[in-house]
Amino acid sequence: MAPIFFTFIFHFCFLSTLVSAISFNQIQLPGNATGPEALAFELGTSRFYTGIADGRILKYRGPITRFVDFGFAAPNRSKSVCDGTSTSNPNPVCGRPLGMALHHLTRRLYVCDAFFGFGVLGPEGGLVTQLSTAAEGEPYRFCNAVHVHQPTGNVYFTDASAVYGIRELETAISVQDSTGRLLKYDIKNKQVTVLFRNLSGAAGVAVDKEEKFALVSEFIANRTRKIWLQGHRPYRSEIVNSMPTPDNIKRTILNNFWLAAARVDRRMQSNLLPVGVRINGNGSVLETVNLEPWYGNKSVSEVQEYGSKLYIASRLVAFIGVYNH
Ligand SMILES: *[C@@H]1O[C@H](CO)[C@@H](O)[C@H](O)[C@H]1NC(C)=O
Ligand SMILES: *[C@@H]1O[C@H](CO)[C@@H](O)[C@H](O)[C@H]1NC(C)=O
Ligand SMILES: *[C@@H]1O[C@H](CO)[C@@H](O)[C@H](O)[C@H]1NC(C)=O
Ligand SMILES: *[C@@H]1O[C@H](CO)[C@@H](O)[C@H](O)[C@H]1NC(C)=O
Ligand SMILES: *[C@@H]1O[C@H](CO)[C@@H](O)[C@H](O)[C@H]1NC(C)=O
Ligand SMILES: *[C@@H]1O[C@H](CO)[C@@H](O)[C@H](O)[C@H]1NC(C)=O
């Protein structure tokens, strides 16, 4: 039995290295757009939304029509002042959309804007309708990541810090801020509750299919936490993964999760190299995708599976990466 088994493994591996040629393509953003942070796909159309550095939410309508302006969260945003402004110093007048996720049934696009909190856009786009700027008396300082639980329509989102905004990220990192929160927008009563506090740079969130637990990345503390969503607050939690600088987390159809993170460069310890890791609900790494060939040491903020491909967002480039394997 054993020899047959090993022969099978050998042939399987050998063949798979032959057929699994990796390809990487770039979907360029429009000429004056840069810094896509997150991606929200429609169901079955290959169209997606992304928020960029100058405060716009763009919609990708396919290889011919490409990107169109879709929305924004800053009520006083002026195209002549804001369009084309870059990623290094986000401007509150322009807004900075980060996490976003579609509820497919209602076609509502939920958005976290670093300056304007948590809101929603209908299919017509335009100005984001603010849903919430504070929870339990504390304003959001850095609304960051969004996940919609499709069967219920409940929305989970994070405030990366209750003290430091997006323009004070360096300070938040240097003091190892741990005031981030996991929040829930309950679709039935339209109320926001704080599910979990004291997170250190809550940069990403994804909830499992059954809504039993959330995985939340803690960017500053280099860890990913599993938070059980049942029982009484504060919920039980455990640290399940320790990849450095974890950012957005996206669930796959098979109830695994893609985490955008980094690994330490063996040649130079201070250098972090971007990776996508597929993890299970217990944080165990099932697959690692090395993104250094296309991103060098630039960090990536999201890796999302759609169809058979991985779509990659990074605040430091002007394209969406499409990784095919
Ligand atoms: C930026 O690009 C968009 C679309 O290509 C265009 O409508 C807009 O006028 C441009 N803005 C500037 C300031 O170049
Ligand atoms: C938008 O502009 C109006 C009028 O100048 C001002 O009252 C309001 O505070 C501004 N809102 C924001 C969010 O900047
Ligand atoms: C957790 O957060 C609460 C409120 O945000 C704060 O009062 C408390 O001191 C924090 N606890 C720790 C251990 O940091
Ligand atoms: C997170 O990881 C990076 C890279 O290894 C390191 O420089 C940083 O000090 C770590 N942060 C914490 C809070 O351990
Ligand atoms: C990232 O790469 C650039 C050039 O490729 C290099 O100059 C820079 O020092 C690197 N950053 C770090 C933190 O190693
Ligand atoms: C995750 O951990 C739980 C409890 O330790 C275990 O029952 C379960 O099988 C694990 N799941 C996976 C996918 O490893």
Res. 105: pLDDT tops 70: yes
**262 - beta bridge partners?**
274
CB burial string 55-83: b at 16+ within 10 A, e below: bbbbbbeeeeeebeebbbbbeebeeeebb
Enumerate domains of the chain plus CATH numbers.
Answer: 26-324 (2.120.10.30)
pTM for this predicted structure: 0.91
Res. 234: pLDDT tops 90: no
CA-nearest residue for atom 6, ligand 6, is 282
207 vs 147: CA distance, rounded Å:
7
Decide whether any atom of ligand 2 lies within 6 Å of the 76 Cβ.
yes
Closest CA to 159 of 174, 179, 176: 179
Res. 5: pLDDT tops 70: no
Which residues have C-beta atoms less than 6 Å from ligand 6? Answer: 280-282
| pLDDT tens, residue by residue, 184-214 | 999 999 999 999 999 999 999 999 999 999 9
| pLDDT tens, residue by residue, 264-316 | 999 998 999 999 999 999 999 999 999 999 999 999 999 999 999 999 999 99
Using CA atoms, how far residue 227 sits from 99, 143, 232, 276, 297, in Å, is 19, 19, 12, 21, 30
Q: Considering every ligand atom shown, identify the ligand nearest to the alpha carbon of residue 76 and give its number.
A: 2
Q: Confidence band (pLDDT; 50, 70, 90) for 257?
A: very high
Closest CA to 113 of 38, 177, 62: 38
pLDDT at position 15 is 44
Pocket probe for ligand 5: among 271, 300, 317, the residue whose CB has the most ligand atoms within 8 Å is 271
Q: Using alpha carbons only, give the angle 236, 184, 197 rounded to the nearest 5 degrees.
A: 45
Query: What's the average model confidence in pLDDT over 98-109?
Result: 98
**Six-digit token pair at 40?**
């929200």
Decide whether any atom of ligand 5 lies within 6 Å of the 16 Cβ.
no
Pocket probe for ligand 3: among 164, 198, 218, 237, the residue whose CB has the most ligand atoms within 8 Å is 198
- The length of the chain, given as a count of residues: 325
Ligand 4 mean position, distance from CA 221 (Å) = 7
Of 232 and 226, more confident: 226
pLDDT at position 20 is 62
Ligand 1 mean position, distance from CA 8 (Å) = 56
13 vs 268: CA distance, rounded Å:
31
pLDDT at position 1 is 39
113 vs 128: CA distance, rounded Å:
9
Q: Confidence band (pLDDT; 50, 70, 90) for 120?
A: very high
| pLDDT tens, residue by residue, 7-52 | 344 444 444 444 568 999 999 999 999 999 999 999 999 999 999 9
Pocket probe for ligand 4: among 177, 199, 218, 222, the residue whose CB has the most ligand atoms within 8 Å is 222
CA-nearest residue for atom 3, ligand 6, is 282
Closest CA to 146 of 164, 128, 168, 169: 128
